[in-house]
Each structure stands twice: as structure tokens, then as C-alpha cells.
């Protein structure tokens, strides 16, 4: 985790697509315009990432952040947003993808027109971007989910279920595969099923309710999605299963504080989404200013207070390690994001 004191500084409000239209062409040309395209609007994780992007823009100077995305987690919605950004001739697009392949044609068109494209959080296939910023190592993320699930259960033994986002979500599927690879390290833990809440609170809640009825032996629910983990914890509480079923995964401290205090969750993890939006913006800026058309393995890009980011195979880079939140620190971090 990075220095948190900076997160308490006031940040600018999100800049929507409509605001861009009000900018005169001359004013727009004076700024580097970076579009932060998220999976869906109204998601606390992405709103926190926008805070980091705005912080980076302020630090760099002469940068405008266009925070946008569809209202639902669909590839079609993101494609519409991307095409609008191409028409507006933004300088860079940093996208957390709802589908790794469906966005490639639109993003390829963007790159053909000189727009620098990176993916972050949830990746795009290599043909559709210059590089991808992972929030952490996929292996570490997969392992921490299992580690926290096992830690919540007596002697680390019991059945667990996974509540994911969409079935096509790049990062979710990668993390689930990493969980499966790491499962032999937790011999007392058994994954019985994976269900999908589509990063929608109501659907994630219903899927959890169904899980509790279909698999009454399940003792842990792993939700590697900030929307799903909150919904799952609420479903466990409403079902009167606190103390019998524990929810863990990836979530925001501000949204999970109640679940920690109620006992629906003992612990969960997340990288800092503020740092993630900050880093994605810094990298996008580097690509624009460096006029880069490719990012070779071993390249080192400057990322402000996050230091240098080294690009690995396939144009992928990692920001940092996940961090565990529990009763000992939840109040501190819930005030930040």
C-alpha cells in the first residue's frame, strides 16, 4: 500500500462526457485528455480509482480526466463509450474491460487514430492495447482469497463457493484459475461451485441466497468483486448465517466495515483503488508524451509517487501486493476509501 495521507486531500469531481463537450477546441488542445473507462458507473471501487486519477492529473498539470463508462457491466456499453471517445479525439484511453476480446476492434481503431490505449484492473487482449496494468500479481490475488477463506474456518477445513462478477470478466476468471492452482496448498478447503452476480448488487444477493439453499454445507463464500462481496455479506446476515458462513474476497473498506463488525466477514483484501487510478493515469500520460507505439518487455515507466513500473511479458505490469483488512484496521481505512 502507498502513503495514505495523500488520499485525504480534496479531489476534483468526476468529469463526464458531457463536460467534455463544453470545452472549446483550443482549450482541449492545450490539455492531455485521458479517458478513464470503467466497467460501470456507480461502483465505489471505480469512483475511488477516479480519485486517484484526479490526483495524478493535478500533480501532472495540463491533464483532463474523462471519467466514464456504461451504466451496466456490458461490453456493448463500453464499446459505445469508446467510439464516442474516438470521435472526441482524446489522447489516451485507460479501460477496465468487461470483456477481453469484444473491445479489441474499437480499441484497435482508437490506436490507429493515434490514441494511446492501456487496460487496467481487468485486461484487454494484447491486440487491443499497448500495455495492461494489473493491480497486483494474479498469483498473489488468487492465493490471498484462499488464504483468507481458510483462515476464517475452524482448522481451515470446509466447503467454499465463489461468487464472481460476469462470466467474461478477464480479471475474475484469471483469479479463479489462480485459486484453483493454489488449492492444493489448502487441503482442507474445497470449492464446490462458482456463480455469477454480474457485478450487480441485487443479482449478487440473489445468487448468494441460492447458494445458501443449494449448498447448505458451504462455510465460506469467496467474492473477488467489490460489489459481490458486500451483497454476499448482506445475504448471509439476512439468512441468519453469521457465525456459520463467512464471506471474504476483494472489497472496499468503507463498504465492508459493517460486515466486519457484524461478523459476516472476518477479513478481506484489496489493493488500493486510488493508487490504481493514479498509476493508470501516470502510465497513460507517459505513453502520450513519449509518443510510444509499443511498450517492450523491460520498459520502465514513471508513475509519480508509485515509483517506476516495469513492464513484463505481453506488455503486462503489476502495481503492488494485496492488503488484508480486518477488525484491527477497518475503521482506519474505511475513512479513506
Tens place of pLDDT for every residue, the chain, 337 residues? Answer: 443 333 333 333 333 333 333 333 434 458 999 999 999 999 999 999 999 999 999 999 999 999 999 999 999 999 999 999 999 999 999 999 999 999 999 999 999 999 999 999 999 999 999 999 999 999 999 999 999 999 999 999 999 999 999 999 999 999 999 999 999 999 999 999 999 999 999 999 999 999 999 999 999 999 999 999 999 999 999 999 999 999 999 999 999 999 999 999 999 999 989 999 999 999 999 999 999 999 999 999 999 999 999 999 999 999 988 999 999 999 999 988 8
| Grid cell listed for 67 | 471519467
Q: Is residue 95 located within the same domain as residue 244?
A: no
In a domain, 252, yes or no: yes
- 133: part of which helix (H) or strand (E)? strand 131-134
In a domain, 336, yes or no: no
Q: Which domain holds residue 72?
A: 5-135+272-320
Q: Is residue 44 located within the same domain as residue 120?
A: yes
- Measured CA to CA, the distance from residue 250 to residue 229 in angstroms comes to 7
Q: What is the largest CA-CA distance in the chain?
A: 65
Q: Is residue 79 located within the same domain as residue 22?
A: yes
Of 241, 270, 299, which residue sits at a domain end?
Answer: 270
In a domain, 335, yes or no: no
- Measured CA to CA, the distance from residue 243 to residue 40 in angstroms comes to 33
Residue 174: CATH number of its domain:
3.40.50.2300
In a domain, 150, yes or no: yes
In a domain, 130, yes or no: yes
In a domain, 242, yes or no: yes
Q: Is residue 164 located within the same domain as residue 186?
A: yes
Q: Is residue 220 located within the same domain as residue 131?
A: no
Q: Is residue 142 located within the same domain as residue 187?
A: yes
Whether the full predicted model's pTM is greater than 0.75, yes or no, is yes
Q: Is residue 185 located within the same domain as residue 95?
A: no
- Measured CA to CA, the distance from residue 66 to residue 55 in angstroms comes to 13
- Measured CA to CA, the distance from residue 226 to residue 228 in angstroms comes to 6
Q: Residue 70 — φ and ψ, nearest 5°? A: -75, 170
CA angle 302, 271, 292 (to 5 degrees): 25
Q: Is residue 190 located within the same domain as residue 96?
A: no
Q: Is residue 128 located within the same domain as residue 147?
A: no
Side-chain-side CA neighbours of residue 180 (13 Å): 10
Angstrom CA distances, 137 to 141, 169, 176, stand at 6, 17, 13
In a domain, 151, yes or no: yes
In a domain, 331, yes or no: no
Q: Is residue 58 located within the same domain as residue 125?
A: yes
Q: Is residue 265 located within the same domain as residue 147?
A: yes
Q: Is residue 169 located within the same domain as residue 248?
A: yes
Per the structure, the count of domains in the chain is 2
Amino acid at each position: 500500500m502507498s502513503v495514505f495521507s495523500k488520499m485525504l486531500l480534496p479531489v476534483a469531481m468526476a468529469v463526464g462526457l458531457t463536460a467534455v463537450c463544453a470545452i472549446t477546441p483550443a482549450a482541449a488542445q492545450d490539455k492531455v485528455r485521458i479517458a478513464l473507462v470503467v466497467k460501470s458507473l456507480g461502483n465505489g471501487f471505480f469512483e475511488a480509482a477516479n480519485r486517484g486519477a484526479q490526483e495524478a492529473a493535478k500533480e501532472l498539470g495540463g491533464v483532463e480526466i474523462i471519467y466514464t463508462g456504461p451504466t451496466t457491466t456490458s461490453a456493448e456499453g463500453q464499446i459505445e463509450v469508446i467510439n464516442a471517445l474516438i470521435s472526441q479525439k482524446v489522447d489516451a484511453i485507460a479501460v477496465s474491460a468487461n470483456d477481453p476480446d469484444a473491445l479489441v476492434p474499437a480499441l484497435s481503431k482508437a490506436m490507429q487514430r493515434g490514441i494511446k490505449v492501456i487496460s487496467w484492473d481487468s485486461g484487454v487482449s494484447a491486440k487491443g492495447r499497448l500495455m495492461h496494468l494489473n493491480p497486483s500479481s494474479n498469483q498473489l490475488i488468487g492465493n490471498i482469497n484462499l488464504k483468507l477463506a481458510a483462515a476464517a474456518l475452524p482448522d481451515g477445513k470446509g466447503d467454499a463457493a465463489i461468487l464472481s462478477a460476469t462470466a467474461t470478466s478477464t480479471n475474475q476468471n484469471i483469479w479463479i484459475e489462480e485459486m484453483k492452482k493454489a488449492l492444493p496448498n489448502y487441503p482442507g478447503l474445497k470449492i464446490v461451485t462458482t456463480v455469477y452476480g454480474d457485478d450487480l448488487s441485487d443479482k449478487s444477493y440473489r445468487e448468494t441466497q441460492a447458494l445458501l439453499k443449494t449448498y447448505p454445507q458451504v462455510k465460506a463464500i469467496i467474492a473477488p468483486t467489490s460489489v459481490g462481496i458486500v451483497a454476499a455479506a448482506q445475504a448471509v446476515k439476512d439468512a441468519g448465517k453469521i457465525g456459520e458462513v463467512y464471506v471474504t474476497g476483494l472489497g472496499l473498506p468503507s463498504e465492508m466495515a459493517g460486515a466486519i463488525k457484524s461478523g459476516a466477514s472476518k477479513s478481506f483484501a484489496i489493493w488500493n483503488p486510488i493508487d490504481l487510478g493514479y498509476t493508470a493515469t501516470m502510465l497513460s500520460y507517459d505513453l502520450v508524451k513519449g509518443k510510444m507505439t509499443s511498450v517492450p518487455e523491460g520498459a520502465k515507466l514513471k508513475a509519480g509517487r508509485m515509483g517506476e513500473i516495469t513492464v513484463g511479458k505481453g506488455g503486462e505490469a503489476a502495481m503492488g501486493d494485496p492488503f488484508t483488512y480486518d477488525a484491527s484496521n477497518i475503521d482506519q481505512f474505511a475513512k479513506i476509501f
